């Protein structure tokens, strides 16, 4: 009977993926998501002007005050048109939320009952049945409050009141003789430009506005609320610490925190299932627990483990571990988790010029290919798992292996990291500090941050995808390189010294210590960019680099080839999304570069973003014909420019060991640096990324009249193939066609040739000729790079044409495109308002070349044919 009981427990535990702390026996979790209502506090200064909002209305939890106002038709859509200025009163107001709930008799009898808030944004007073329970001050923390003895069977009243973070903090900021540097001053007058409060609030920084998103200083119960109750035992934390993971064995420890209501000897069973789910092993130990919190460690050894690898390097093997604690009186508690076994190292080799920066996974130096991720919505509670999956699968499909979770947002949901684990996407995880300077000199502020960090590390540390914890985004470089530190030192050197000492304490010691204690062996890095507080902060020869001389500094795109860092963690070019996305927020009369709606969705305020785009467009392509042409050219510019930079980084291996462009996704529909827009639609950049991040790539990079050709391989074995060079006239004339053998060493960049323009062109006209470099493996082209001999606007293109051939197939539709009259450059296919996905897009067609594509869409065959429009550079003369 006992063995049958153990088998039943084991099968149930391994069949489920209960989050750490969850349990199917002695622990009950009751969501408190129903029956919520909200209102603008009647005593608030804005209640007279917004009287409708001061009445009670239904609310959604998890949610935000902006989305609740929108649902109740009290405000317009914050994303459509240009309503932003008129909605800033919301962030200055005091908001009240409440619900009523009943509690069953079994819960009332339990010895322990906790009220748990996974996210309160941000300054919140919590009361239950008229009794104050909590004053919260950190959006990024989990709040657990014992409420046994405070509940009743019927009509419990839970009330949460949110203060405006601006109004709460502004008096203390204004009282400072000298202010700390902030990020983006509000253009709307809701707070003074010389007294910004965001640095002092533990709240998502982007809510105060950024150069790719709106300013909506929201509030609310933005993550789940629940009651947890139990008898006797509760597993408060379950972690699999990985001491040493190799091909022969994985040396692990199951680390448990168990709350016990009494001192007792407890049986603890550990089980795990292999990634294939076919085998399971168990162990049992008896431990003497004291009343209160107990920390238990149980060693585990797995012979010949199946290891977790980043995408492109092996399988994403994931083990399932379960634990059961059973007391002498029959009390039981369970928990279960999923993790991957892998070793992770941030390698900092020294050389004659500095120190490198490379991620080493399972002993393999991995060139990091990817992008920076920002929040997926201004209001994160409405981000769906389908939305996350679409973007992260798109990252994997573009041959990315790393995502940097940028520090101005929030710590992503469990679903995000579960997807990253499954897809093999390494995660560089910033702590949530996005820029400016924090009051690290304040011990209470640091204690709050340490608690936040401990909460998040414990929640996320079992995810094998996380390979780095980084203290902040751009705070060190802002202090050292942007003049923030110098300006403060000039007016108050004592305070400047205090501010910097606080910074070093918080990011150099406090967070480093918490990561060492709780991070499960994942390395820590104090800031991005930095050399981990060792000398200059944004140094080409040391650590990671943010490079914004191109775009922010208006330098030419070709200057990407002049910057060769150890690890490029930010660089980017802006572009508009496609026209169907623009039409989601703008009417026909708004489709002008200078219209109020278009300007409202262009957030680059350090300079006029559209004028900056025009500067780059005019330099390479000439004058746009109209707004749609401006949009198309911005997207072409972005794709071709980032491709140049990324291939340069890859060709510079092993000096450079990472390339993360800014940015992957969007927070709302508008102009930004993303390669995937708010609705999940790929921009041309993302199609290019799939090619320039491929495991085999040819990097043919032209500068100053010379083209260097480097063959890049991320494969762990030797690859043999051919390099094919063709010099072609735009009309199809072949001037040169030759092949030579090529050997690509494992995980390498091999410089194979260099050509002066005269060597390639001979007597051909550079204005109408291209050099085509292709890497062939087993006789098939696996990568291609076309080199042009001048800015696009200086070239002489033929009047090309593209032939379309449609065919119905069992799985969808097939489209064949042929360049019938010469070169077709930067071809883009668009289906208007139809929901359609094409297997490839944003490419050049050589003269006479045919490509065969699949088109997936719920639209009919006839609708797709009618809806397709093609645009390319040389069919729209400027």
Q: Return the CATH number at 850.
A: 2.60.40.10
Interior CA angle at 507 toward 428 and 218, to 5°?
70
Residue 408 to residue 205: CA distance in whole angstroms: 5
Same domain, 89 and 204: yes
Last residue of a domain, one of 226, 242, 272: 226
Residue 151 lies in a domain: yes
Query: Which domain covers residue 331, as residue numbers?
Result: 2-17+232-339
Last residue of a domain, one of 320, 339, 358: 339
Same domain, 262 and 202: no
* Number of domains present in the structure of the chain: 3
Residue 774 lies in a domain: no
Reported confidence tier of residue 185, pLDDT bands at 50, 70, 90: very high
Look over the chain and give the mean of its residue pLDDT values, rounded to a whole number: 94
For residue 799, what is the DSSP state? Answer: -
How confident is the model over 577-590, as a mean pLDDT? Answer: 97
Same domain, 82 and 196: yes
pLDDT at residue 5 is higher than 50: no
At 799 the pLDDT is: 87
For the question of residue 620 being annotated catalytic, the response is no
Q: Which of 84, 259, 452, 570 is catalytic?
A: 570
E-state strands within 148-207: 156-163
* Structure tokens that stand for 448 in this block: 């709050």
Residue 299 lies in a domain: yes
Residue 311 to residue 314: CA distance in whole angstroms: 7
Residue 715 to residue 697: CA distance in whole angstroms: 11
Residue 385 to residue 393: CA distance in whole angstroms: 12
Reported confidence tier of residue 10, pLDDT bands at 50, 70, 90: very low
Residue 139 lies in a domain: yes
Residue 177 lies in a domain: yes
Same domain, 217 and 241: no
At 505 the pLDDT is: 98
What number of H helices and E strands is found in the chain? 18, 46
Same domain, 105 and 212: yes
Last residue of a domain, one of 202, 226, 250: 226
At 100 the pLDDT is: 98
Reported confidence tier of residue 22, pLDDT bands at 50, 70, 90: very low
pLDDT at residue 839 is higher than 90: yes
Q: Classify the C-alpha dihedral 133-139-143-147 as positive or negative.
A: positive
Residue 176 to residue 180: CA distance in whole angstroms: 9
State the CATH number of the domain containing residue 107: 2.60.120.260
At 782 the pLDDT is: 97
Residue 109 lies in a domain: yes
* Structure tokens that stand for 814 in this block: 């097939």
Cβ-based neighbours of 542, under 8 Å, separated by 6 or more: 354, 355, 357, 531, 534, 535, 536, 566
Reported confidence tier of residue 878, pLDDT bands at 50, 70, 90: low
Same domain, 121 and 237: no
Alpha-carbon dihedral angle through residues 599, 601, 606, 609, given to the nearest 10 degrees:
-70
In terms of Cα–Cα distance, which of 694, 711, 692, 703 is closest to 653?
A: 711
Of the listed ranges 12-26, 150-164, 289-303, 367-381, the least confidently predicted one is: 12-26
Interior CA angle at 134 toward 131 and 138, to 5°?
160
Residue 222 to residue 716: CA distance in whole angstroms: 44
At 800 the pLDDT is: 86
* Structure tokens that stand for 607 in this block: 């300079």
CB 655 within 8 Å of CB 564: yes
Same domain, 200 and 71: yes
Residue 125 to residue 41: CA distance in whole angstroms: 13
Reported confidence tier of residue 20, pLDDT bands at 50, 70, 90: very low
Residue 612 to residue 594: CA distance in whole angstroms: 13
Residue 696 to residue 776: CA distance in whole angstroms: 10
- What is the rounded end-to-end Cα distance, in angstroms, of the chain? 83
Residue 384 lies in a domain: no
Of the listed ranges 17-21, 98-102, 335-339, 426-430, the least confidently predicted one is: 17-21
Specify the 3-state DSSP secondary structure of 423: helix
Using alpha carbons, list the distances in angstroms from residue 861 to 469, 764, 808: 49, 44, 7
Residue 844 to residue 154: CA distance in whole angstroms: 69
* Structure tokens that stand for 82 in this block: 């240009």
pLDDT tens for each residue of 631-669: 999 999 999 999 999 999 999 999 999 999 999 999 999
* Structure tokens that stand for 163 in this block: 């203060």
* Structure tokens that stand for 702 in this block: 């032209």
Same domain, 86 and 217: yes
pLDDT at residue 390 is higher than 70: yes
For the question of residue 570 being annotated catalytic, the response is yes
pLDDT tens for each residue of 117-171: 999 999 999 999 999 999 999 999 999 999 999 999 999 999 999 999 999 999 9
Q: Which helix (H) or strand (E) holds 168?
A: helix 165-174
How confident is the model over 368-372, as a mean pLDDT? Answer: 98
pLDDT tens for each residue of 450-499: 999 999 999 999 999 999 999 999 999 999 999 999 999 999 999 999 99
Using alpha carbons, list the distances in angstroms from residue 725 to 6, 247, 508, 737, 741: 66, 42, 51, 6, 12
Alpha-carbon dihedral angle through residues 536, 406, 65, 140, given to the nearest 10 degrees:
-80
Place of tokens 């099968």: 11
pLDDT at residue 12 is higher than 80: no
At 809 the pLDDT is: 87
Neighbours of 340 (CB within 10 A): 25
How confident is the model over 588-601, as a mean pLDDT? Answer: 96
Same domain, 213 and 136: yes
766 DSSP β-pair partners: none
pLDDT at residue 93 is higher than 50: yes
At 330 the pLDDT is: 84
Same domain, 40 and 105: yes
Place of tokens 């910004």: 196
Specify the 3-state DSSP secondary structure of 145: strand
Q: Which of 261, 452, 474, 643 is catalytic?
A: 474
Same domain, 91 and 157: yes
Task: Write the DSSP assignment of 562-611 as a string of letters.
Answer: G---S-EEE----B---HHHHTTT--GGG-STTSHHHHHT---TTTTHHH
Same domain, 124 and 56: yes
pTM above 0.85, yes or no: yes
In terms of Cα–Cα distance, which of 816, 804, 643, 800 is closest to 729?
A: 800
Side-chain half-sphere exposure of 325, counting CA atoms within 13 A: 33
Residue 475 lies in a domain: no
């Amino acid at each position: 009977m006992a063995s049958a009981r153990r088998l039943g427990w084991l099968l149930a535990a391994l069949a489920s993926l209960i989050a750490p702390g969850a349990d199917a026996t002695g622990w009950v979790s009751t969501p408190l998501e129903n029956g919520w209502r909200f209102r603008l506090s009647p005593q608030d200064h804005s209640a007279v002007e917004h009287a409708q909002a001061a009445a009670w209305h239904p609310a959604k939890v998890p949610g935000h005050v902006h989305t609740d106002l929108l649902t109740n038709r009290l405000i317009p859509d914050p994303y459509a048109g240009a309503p932003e200025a008129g909605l800033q009163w919301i962030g200055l107001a005091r908001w009240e939320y409440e619900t009523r709930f009943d509690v069953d008799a079994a819960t009332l009898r339990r010895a322990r009952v906790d009220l748990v808030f996974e996210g309160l944004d941000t300054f919140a007073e919590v009361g239950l049945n008229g009794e104050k329970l909590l004053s919260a001050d950190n959006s990024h923390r989990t709040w657990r409050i014992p409420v046994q003895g405070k509940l009743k069977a019927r009509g419990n009243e839970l009330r949460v009141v949110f203060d405006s973070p601006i109004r709460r903090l502004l008096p203390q900021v204004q009282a400072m003789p000298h202010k700390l540097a902030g990020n983006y001053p509000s253009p709307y007058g809701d707070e003074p430009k010389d007294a910004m409060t965001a640095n002092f609030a533990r709240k998502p920084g982007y809510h105060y506005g950024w150069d790719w998103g709106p300013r909506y200083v929201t509030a609310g119960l933005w993550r789940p609320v629940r009651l947890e109750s139990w008898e006797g035992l509760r597993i408060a934390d379950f972690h699999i610490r990985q001491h040493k993971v190799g091909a022969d064995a994985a040396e692990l420890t199951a680390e448990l925190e168990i709350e016990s209501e009494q001192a007792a000897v407890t049986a603890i069973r550990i089980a795990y299932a292999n990634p294939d789910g076919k085998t399971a092993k168990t162990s049992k130990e008896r431990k003497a627990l004291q009343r209160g919190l107990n920390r238990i460690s149980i060693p585990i050894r797995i012979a010949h483990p199946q290891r977790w690898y980043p995408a492109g390097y092996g399988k994403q093997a994931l083990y399932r571990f379960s634990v059961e604690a059973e007391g002498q009186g029959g009390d039981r508690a369970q928990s279960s988790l999923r993790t991957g076994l892998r070793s992770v190292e941030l390698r900092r080799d020294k050389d004659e010029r500095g120190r490198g920066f490379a991620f080493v996974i399972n002993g393999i130096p991995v060139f990091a290919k990817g992008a920076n991720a920002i929040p997926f919505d201004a209001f994160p509670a409405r981000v769906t798992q389908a939305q996350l999956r679409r973007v992260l699968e798109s990252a994997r499909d573009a041959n990315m292996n790393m995502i940097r979770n940028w520090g101005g947002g929030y710590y992503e949901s469990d679903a995000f990291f579960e997807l990253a684990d499954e897809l093999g996407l390494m995660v560089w995880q910033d702590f949530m500090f996005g820029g400016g300077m924090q009051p690290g000199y304040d011990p209470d502020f640091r204690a709050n941050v340490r608690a936040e960090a401990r909460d998040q590390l414990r929640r996320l540390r079992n995810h094998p995808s996380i390979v780095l914890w980084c203290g902040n985004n751009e705070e060190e470089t802002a202090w050292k390189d942007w003049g923030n530190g110098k300006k403060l030192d000039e007016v108050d050197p004592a305070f400047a010294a205090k501010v910097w000492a606080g910074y070093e304490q918080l990011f150099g010691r406090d967070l480093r210590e918490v990561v060492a204690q709780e991070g499960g062996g994942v390395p820590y890095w104090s800031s991005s960019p930095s050399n981990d507080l060792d000398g200059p902060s944004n140094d080409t020869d040391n650590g990671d680099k943010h490079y914004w001389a191109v775009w922010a500094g208006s330098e030419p795109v070709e200057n990407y080839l002049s910057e060769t860092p150890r690890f490029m963690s930010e660089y980017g070019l802006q572009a508009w999304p496609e026209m169907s996305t623009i039409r989601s927020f703008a009417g026909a009369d708004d489709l002008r570069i200078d219209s109020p709606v278009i300007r409202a969705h262009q957030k680059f305020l350090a300079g006029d973003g559209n004028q900056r785009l025009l500067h780059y467009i005019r330099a390479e392509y000439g004058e746009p014909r109209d707004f749609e042409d401006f949009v198309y050219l911005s997207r072409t510019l972005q794709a071709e420019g980032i491709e140049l930079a990324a291939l340069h980084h890859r060709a510079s291996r092993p000096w450079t060991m990472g390339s993360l462009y800014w940015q992957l996704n969007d927070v709302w529909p508008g102009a930004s640096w993303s390669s995937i827009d708010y609705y999940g639609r790929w921009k041309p950049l993302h199609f290019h990324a799939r090619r320039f991040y491929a495991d085999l790539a040819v990097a043919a990079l032209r500068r100053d009249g010379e083209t260097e050709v480097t063959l890049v391989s991320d494969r762990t074995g030797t690859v043999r193939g051919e390099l094919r060079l063709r010099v072609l006239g735009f009309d199809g004339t072949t001037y040169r066609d030759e092949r030579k053998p090529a050997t690509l060493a494992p995980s390498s960049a091999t410089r194979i040739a260099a050509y002066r323009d005269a060597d390639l062109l001979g007597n051909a006209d550079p204005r109408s000729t291209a050099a085509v470099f292709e890497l062939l493996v087993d006789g098939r082209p696996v990568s291609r790079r076309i080199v042009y001999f001048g800015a696009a606007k200086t070239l002489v293109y033929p009047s090309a044409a593209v032939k379309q051939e449609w065919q119905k197939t069992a799985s969808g539709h097939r489209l064949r495109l042929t360049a019938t009259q010469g070169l077709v450059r930067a071809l883009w296919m668009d289906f208007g308002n139809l929901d359609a996905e094409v297997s490839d897009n944003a490419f050049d067609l050589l003269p006479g070349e045919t490509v065969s594509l699949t088109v997936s869409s719920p639209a009919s065959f006839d609708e797709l044919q009618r809806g397709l429009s093609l645009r390319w550079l040389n069919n729209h003369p400027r």
